[in-house]
Each structure stands twice: as structure tokens, then as C-alpha cells.
Amino acid sequence: MNRIFIPQIKALAVNVWREATRDRSILMLVGSGVLMMAFSLIFGQMAVGGRDRIFQDMGFWIMGMWGLAAVVYLGSGIIKRELQRKTVYLVLSRPVDRPTFMLGKFFGMVLVLASVFGLLAIAWLVIALSRGVSLTPMHFWALAFLFGEWVLLAAVSLFFAAFTSPLLHNFFLVSVAFLGHWSNELKIFADNARADALKMVLNTLYYLLPNLEALNFREAALYNDVISSAVMGQGALVLLGWTATALIAANIVFMQRRLL
């Protein structure tokens, strides 16, 4: 991209981040996440065995679900709000084209998500260390790919926000998030389906949705399994490929949208 657009992207991204830091809903999301992690210690104490494992599992689950909630909340209004305030017309009337606008919004979402993830991850790590949980490099890889999933969902969110209402955006995004983790099962169901129509639908979903399980190394962290670099590389390719695809699609759709 031409260097002239980098300051505009940065300005748009920082503006998204500043608005989010003043949003009480985001602060409540972080606070509730930290509180849930503290409660997970109580659930661990109630378990007969594997207390540390339960705490770790709940921590990963909380960060996954709270990340989805953050993306849903940010993405549902990131373009709609600009249209309602009519600020999008002011921004696009300047030397800022639509791809620059969309990239600025995307990187702004990433900044907000990085802040939320950082706070939740630090809280989880502090509690884990205070409990004497043995952390391995796999824990940090699992956290890194978990944040990568947030970034991928942010790109998908921007795509849906470019042409749908907030309600439909939320429905589609949550569907992608859950079906993406069932991607392997969809392929198995498709291979075993007897009806051709059902087989076609399941195969279509399998190829149209990102395989989010390729980014899921949480179980490996829990059981201290060794994951090969090839498997991690495949996960990185899924992350980069689908994020880029969603961003390109979002820009194409937004370029065709009539704003006036």
C-alpha cells in the first residue's frame, strides 16, 4: 500500500481504540472475564481431581468466549455507527479511500482486542503462577493462536458489517465461530451422509468456513502434548489466509455499497 495512506490507517485505528477504551461495556467485559477466572478456582476446588487442569481449561474457554463477545460487540456497530453519525461521509470526503477506511477499522479492532486479550491473559497467567501451575511453551503457543482466532474473527466481522444489519452480523459471526470449530465434524458428516443434497450442503459449509480447530492448541497445552512445527505452520497459514480473504471480501463489498 502507498505510504501516504499509512498515517490515515493509523489515525482511524487509534480512534477506534480510543472510543473503545471509553466504552463501559468493554471495561465490564474485561472485568467479568477476570472475575470468572477467579471463580474457576472455586470450581477447581470442588473437583475430585485435576484441579489445575480444570482451571486451565476454564481459563482457555473464558478467553475464547469473551473474545467472541468482544468481536461481536465491536463489529456490530463499527460501520453502522459511522453511518448513523454520518461521520463516514466526512472521513471519505478527505484523501481517504474506502480500503483505507476499512483497514483502519480492522486494525482498530485488533488494537482493542489486543488490549482485552492482554489483560485477560495476564490475569490468567498471574492466577496460574500463584496456584503453582506448571506452564510450558505450549501454553504460550495456545494463547498466541487463540488471539489469532480473535483477529480472524475480526476480519470476518468486518466483512459481515460491510453489508448486513447488526442483528444479522451477530448471527452470522457466531455461526461462523461455532461451525468453524466443528469443521472437521462437518467433513465427517458429509462423507457419511446418504442424501446428496445434505452431502452438498455440508461440503459447501466445510469449504466456505475457516477451520478454527487448526488454531486450537489448547488441549495440547492442557496435556503437555508436543505439536510439530508443520502442524503449527498449517495453523498459521489458515490464520493468515482466511484473515486476508475476509479483508479482501470486506473491501470488495464495501466498495460496491452506496453510501449516499
| Residue pLDDT, tens place only, 111-132 | 999 999 999 999 999 988 888 8
Instruction: Give, in degrees to the nearest 5, the angle at Cα 91 between 87 and 95.
Output: 170
Q: Residue 229 is which amino acid? A: S
Whose cell is 503453582? That residue is 132
pLDDT tens digits along 162-196 = 999 999 999 999 999 999 999 989 999 998 888 88
| pLDDT of 49 | 59
Structural domain count of the chain? 1
170 in Cβ contact with 69 (< 8 Å)? no
Listed residue (173, 167, 158, 164) closest to 247, CA to CA: 158
Residues of the chain with pLDDT under 70: 1-4, 44-50, 89, 93, 259-260
The one-character DSSP state at 162 is T
* CA pair distance 244, 246, nearest whole angstrom: 6
Distances (CA, A) of 114 to 75, 122, 144, 162, 254: 15, 12, 11, 22, 25
Range of the domain at 214: 4-256
> Which residues, in sequence order, are CB contacts of 64 under 8 Å at separation 6+?
146, 149
Which residue shows C-alpha cell 482451571?
A: 55
pTM, entire model? 0.92
Q: How far apart are CA 68 and CA 104, in angstroms?
A: 20
Angle at 36 between CA 19 and CA 51, to 5 degrees: 145
